[in-house]
Every structure is written in C-alpha cells, then in structure tokens.
Amino acid sequence: MDKIIIHGGHPLTGTVKISGSKNSALPILAATLLTKDPCVIQRVPDLSDVHYMLQILAHLGAEVERASGVVTVKAEEVKSVAPYEIVRKMRASICVLGPLLGREKEATVSLPGGCVIGDRPIDLHLRGFEALGAAVRVHGGNVKVLAPSLHGATISLKGKFGTTVLGTDNVMMAAVLADGTTIIEDAAREPEVVDLANFLNKMGAQITGAGSSQIVIEGVKELHGAEHEVIPDRIEAGTFLIAGAIAGGKVTINRVRFDHLAALTDALLACGFYVGGANGVLTIHANGSLKSLHLKTQPYPGFPTDMQAQMCALLATAPGESSVTESIFPQRFMHISELKRMGAAIELDGATAKIRGVDSLSGAPVMASDLRASAALVLAGLLAEGKTEINRVYHIDRGYEMLDDKLGELGAHIERVKV
C-alpha cells in the first residue's frame, strides 16, 4: 500500500493536461457490450476503476485491448453474470446491468462496492428496468433482471436527493434496444450522460434530449461498432483549478470544457481569484485576497458534489465564515475530521459544514476515506506548513491519473512511498 508525502508551502506554477473523464469512460466502456462489433474508445484514463471495468468486460466474454489511452473492445459473445469477486471494488460496475439487459434480456450482477460516502442505492435503476418490462429480484447480494422482451415506457428517475447519473446511464443503455419509445423524465443532465448518449448514437441508437431533464429514446433492432473520444474530466480539471487557487502561483490547465466548469469557476471568482482563458485552456491565479463563500452542492449544472471536499480545503483558510451544504450525499463529510487534524476550524451542522477561516494549516498524518476526500487532503497538504502524510491513497488512483506526478511537475514537493 502506498502513501503520499507532501512538504507544503511551495507555490505551483505551470501547465497541466487534463485526462479523459472517469465518469464518462466507465459507462461508455460498459456500453460496448451492446454490440458484437469492435468499439474503439480514445482518451481512456489510466485509473484503477478503469482497470476494474476492463477486467469485468473480459470476464463477461469481451476481447479487450489497451494501448496508450486507446481501448478496443469486441464483445462478440457475452455472459450475463457478473459475480461479487469482480464487481466488489467499484460502484460503477453496476452500469453493466443496463447493457446486459438490453442485449441478452437478462443479467445477474452482484451489488458493488466503492467509496464510503453514505447510502447510494440503486432502486431508481431497478425502477427503470421494471418500467421497461423486466422482472427484478434482489437476493443474496445479487441483482437479477429478466425480460422476455423490453418495451418503451415513460420513466421518472427522480430520487430523494435529486437525479441519478448512473441510473440515467443504465436505463438509457437498456432502452436503446427496447421496442418502441422510452422517455426518461427527471434525467440527470451531467456532461457524462451526454457523452454516453453521443457514443450510443454513433453506434446507431436514436437518442435525443441528453443534457436536458427529458431524454427520448427510439428503440432500434441492433447497434454497431463505433469510435469515440471521451470528454475531459471536469472533476480533475476542477481539482487542479483549486490546486492553483490554494497554492498558486499561476496554473494553466489544458484540454478542458469551459461550459462543464461554470459552477466551479463562478465560485472561484466569488472567492477572489482570476479564472479565464480560451480554446480549451483555463488559467487561475490570485486576484486580491481570498474571500469567504457560502455554497450548496446541486445536480448539474449546479455546484458538483464531487468538488465539495476540495472546496472545503480551500475555504479552510478563507477569512471569516464560510459554509458548504451537501444536498446530494449528506453524509459525505468524512474529510472534515482529517482537515481538522491539520488545524482547520470546521463544524458540521447536519448536512452543512460551517468553516471559520484560520491563518494557516499544519502538516499531519491523515487518512483518506474516499476518492474526493483524498484529493482534498492533498490540496490541504500543498498549503500546510510542514509535512503531510496521506494514507490509503489507493482511493486517489481510482479517479486521478498520476495526480502526484502532475502536481510535482507544477512545483509541489510531493512523493509517493511504499508502506
């Protein structure tokens, strides 16, 4: 097991390239199961979650080749069972359920693992499958779905805490091969859903409305192979923007989509930073003093829950009182206790973190609890005085491609060591 050691207080300057989106790549790779033809996916990030997904595809019978960020999948014949031992490490493995149901009209997938950030049920996925005509049974930790045929339906995917991204992906993938028209109401609007829909359309699907709250899917008889380039990872881009804010210097990020980052850049501008650029390039640097902020996570296009922990790290040294309210995963605050070990003054009030800015943070041994919490601790370590040791960094490798190397190239004093 590795840990990351950071000696804080060194400004970041320079340019970093953003990798392909993890949250796009995983469902897009799963969607290759919908056809017997080869599919070529470009800009696939080198992440442990991607490795797990490729292992799942291979277990299900697909031929998988990977070289320099390009993955080729040919699923000429597939099995419809994904047992616990191959899905337990990653929550997104549940997204093979939709394509297996669409193609084979049956699937058995063990309930997956993943980050510990509170209850993330799949009831909305199953509701969608039932509306398409599938019988659903959950027993012994497995989900079994079976349908002699799938038919179009109108389905609402609104849950207790808003929309579901993976649920929208899953139902969309099942519906592309259903008879008739499927209308997904209260669909997730995230760019990653749009990216998946664009890939499915390249395969011959007929999907309109992706990016809005209503997606319309006209079922087709079969899909064919396609090539596709994964969109840039907006969460990685956002994390490097905050790295530039917390320890810049002047940091430029390449290969980004401005429209995907609007909620974050608005928040950073409100905090007193300059953020600007053109043609897929964004630069951030200090523009006066850091200011406090009150924000609330929301489904896209609101402020993303996957940037909440990183924003807490930034606001920990903002003068005055700030607050961050988590409306999507109310229990997603396990990073708070670790930030407090570094000197942050943060108190939880229900689903709101109340932050009183301190003059500085100090390095300390801390424990990563989930993917984005890990990133927040790295960011705090960049600013903290002294040495910060971050343990259980395998979480970071799930969602950030060479984060420590990229930060090192910007000037961070950071190293990865074997424990």
Cα distances from 142 to residues 94, 107, 113, in angstroms, run 11, 10, 12
Instruction: Give pLDDT, residue 116.
Output: 46
Residues 376-389, mean pLDDT to the nearest whole number? 97
**74 SS3 class:** strand
Instruction: Give pLDDT, residue 113.
Output: 57
Instruction: Give pLDDT, residue 289.
Output: 80
Q: Following DSSP, what letter does each residue of 40-57 receive, concatenated? A: EEES----HHHHHHHHHH
Structure tokens at 61: 């019978």
- My answer on whether 213 and 241 are in the same domain is no
Task: Give the separation between CA 323 and CA 294, rounded to whole angstroms.
Answer: 5
115 tagged catalytic: yes
- My answer on whether 151 and 250 are in the same domain is no
Task: Give the separation between CA 339 and CA 349, rounded to whole angstroms.
Answer: 16
Residues 393-403, mean pLDDT to the nearest whole number? 93
- My answer on whether 280 and 198 are in the same domain is no
- My answer on whether 213 and 250 are in the same domain is no
Instruction: Give pLDDT, residue 118.
Output: 47
- My answer on whether 93 and 148 are in the same domain is yes
- My answer on whether 302 and 365 are in the same domain is yes
- My answer on whether 121 and 57 are in the same domain is yes
Q: What confidence tier does 120 reach under pLDDT thresholds 50, 70, 90?
A: low
Last residue of a domain, one of 229, 262, 290: 229
Q: pTM (2 decimals)?
A: 0.96
Query: What's the mean pLDDT when you consider all of the chain?
Result: 94
Task: Give the separation between CA 333 and CA 308, rounded to whole angstroms.
Answer: 9
Q: Residue 115's domain spans which residues?
A: 22-229
- My answer on whether 63 and 142 are in the same domain is yes
- My answer on whether 39 and 168 are in the same domain is yes
Q: Are 275 and 248 in contact (CB under 8 A)?
A: no
Number of DSSP helices (H) and strands (E) in the chain, helices first = 14, 24
Q: In terms of DSSP bridges, do strands 38-42 and 227-229 run parallel, antiparallel, or are they unpaired?
A: parallel
Does pLDDT of 42 surpass 90?
yes
**47 SS3 class:** coil
Report the run of H or E that residue 138 belongs to, with start and end: strand 135-139
- My answer on whether 184 and 252 are in the same domain is no
Last residue of a domain, one of 229, 254, 289: 229
Last residue of a domain, one of 206, 229, 252: 229
Query: pLDDT tens, 220-258?
Result: 999 999 999 999 999 999 999 999 999 988 999 999 999
Instruction: Give pLDDT, residue 117.
Output: 43
Closest CA to 380 of 410, 340, 333: 340
- My answer on whether 45 and 141 are in the same domain is yes
Report the run of H or E that residue 108 belongs to, with start and end: strand 106-110
- My answer on whether 38 and 7 are in the same domain is no
> Total domain count for the chain?
2
Q: Which residues pair with 273 in a beta bridge?
A: 286
Does pLDDT of 8 surpass 70?
yes
**171 SS3 class:** helix
- Strand locations in 147-280, DSSP E? 154-156, 181-185, 206-208, 214-218, 227-229, 248-254, 273-278
Write the CATH number for 82: 3.65.10.10
Q: In terms of DSSP bridges, do strands 154-156 and 181-185 run parallel, antiparallel, or are they unpaired?
A: parallel
Q: Are 114 and 107 in contact (CB under 8 A)?
A: no
Q: In terms of DSSP bridges, do strands 106-110 and 81-82 run parallel, antiparallel, or are they unpaired?
A: parallel
Query: pLDDT tens, 301-336?
Result: 999 999 999 999 999 999 999 999 999 988 899 999
Q: Which of 95, 115, 271, 312 is catalytic?
A: 115
Query: pLDDT tens, 266-304?
Result: 999 999 999 999 999 999 998 778 999 999 999 999 999
